[in-house]
Structure 1
Amino acid sequence: MKVSICLFVVIFLFGCKKAHEGISDCICVAKDTSDSIINITNPVFEIRDNQGFINYNCAEIEIAIASVTDSTGNESCENLVDVKCISNKTYSLKLANKLHYTSTKFKEINSTDESDKRFLMNELKANSKQIFELSIDKQREIVSIKKFEK
């Protein structure tokens, strides 16, 4: 009896390991011609042929909103992000010439400006394990990046 219980516990723990890591073949977004939004992680900024690109892994997430009250009674809303799945395939999308970046602050970025490129590169590198939301236009270019705060 003890052996069967131990065996069940071991199987349960090993069965949960893969789901807990959440790394698999998540389905990204279909290659269509409409505007779309995708969630990503592990972003890497890259320049090819004087164009900015972001290489990334897709992430399937669920977002809940929680009302939080601090010790002084001030109430605010916060996103609770639950990562369901992270793709093991790396994708790449081109940055639009002008795009919006939102974190705790909003910043308009000109992807052809060197200081804006450095800002975006440093921001993505410093937050590579965070979840980001990309808005993509009909030309399959990134027009907006939003960082989910954890």
Structure 2
Amino acid sequence: MKSTLFLFAIFILFSCNEKKEYSPSKILSNCECDNTLKTDSVLYSTQIHKDRRQNSINFNCATVEKAIASMIDLNGNNEYCKNIYDIKCKSSKNENLILSNEFTYYPDEIMNREMNNADSQKLFFRELRADNQFYKFEMNSKREIIRITKIK
């Protein structure tokens, strides 16, 4: 019985992995996004820069695994779901897509606040200055970006 408990304790001790942390240097750069650049689709991106000549952005695609976690506050109340993203790789190839004139930006902090499109667009372009940001793009049938969500 003691040996079973000892083996069980050893199993639990070694079954826990170290916490994964996002590190830009650990992300692989061998994925491409040619098959995700379709109409009415969703894609993930990084290294975003606004194209000054036209209403478009340049970016690199990213492959992301998504999971959903159930979260609660410290008191055990207010249960909610949270998306957890694990970035597997990012493309080394630059892509370009046109921004819809009415695109909407959703950073996590204002998801539940009312904000008009003009304000959300200004906020998006201000936040583009920061490096190592990841975003989810949603496109319409014209292959224009209509919704941008910041991923943390």
Asked whether the two chains share a fold, i.e. TM above 0.5, the reply is: yes
| 2:74 aligned with 1:71 | yes
Give the conservation status (yes or no) of the 8 Å contact 2:105–2:120: no
**Equivalent-residue separation in structure 2 for 1:93 and 1:73 (angstroms):** 44
Cα displacement (A) at 1:30: 3.1
Q: Which amino acid aligns with 1:121?
A: F
Aligned equivalents of 1:62, 1:53: Cα separation in 2:
26
In structure 2, stretches of 5+ residues that fail to align are 1-24
Which structure shows the higher strand fraction?
1
What is residue 129 of structure 1 aligned with on the other side?
Answer: 132
Matches within 5 A, 1:3-18: none
Secondary structure, in 3 states, of the residue corresponding to 1:40?
A: strand
Note if contact 1:25-1:89 (Cα within 8 Å) is conserved in structure 2. Answer: no
Match of 1:55 among 35, 55, 58: 58
Deviations 1:68-92 (A, max 9, x none): 2221223222111101111111111
Q: Distance in 2 between matches of 1:109 and 1:136?
A: 16
Q: Is the 8 A contact 1:60 1:85 kept in 2?
A: yes
RMSD: 2.3
Cα distance between partner residues in 2 of 1:45 and 1:32: 18
Q: Distance in 1 between matches of 2:66 and 2:92?
A: 21
- Partner AA of 1:122 in structure 2: R
Letter in 2 for 1:85: C
Matched, 1:80 2:84: yes
1:100 aligned partner: 104
2:26 equivalent to 1:21: yes
> What is the TM-score of this pair, normalised by structure 2?
0.69
Deviation of residue 33 (structure 1)? 5.8
One-letter amino acid matched to 2:100? A
Summarize the Cα distance change of 1:45–1:87 in structure 2 as closer, same or farther, 3 Å threshold.
same
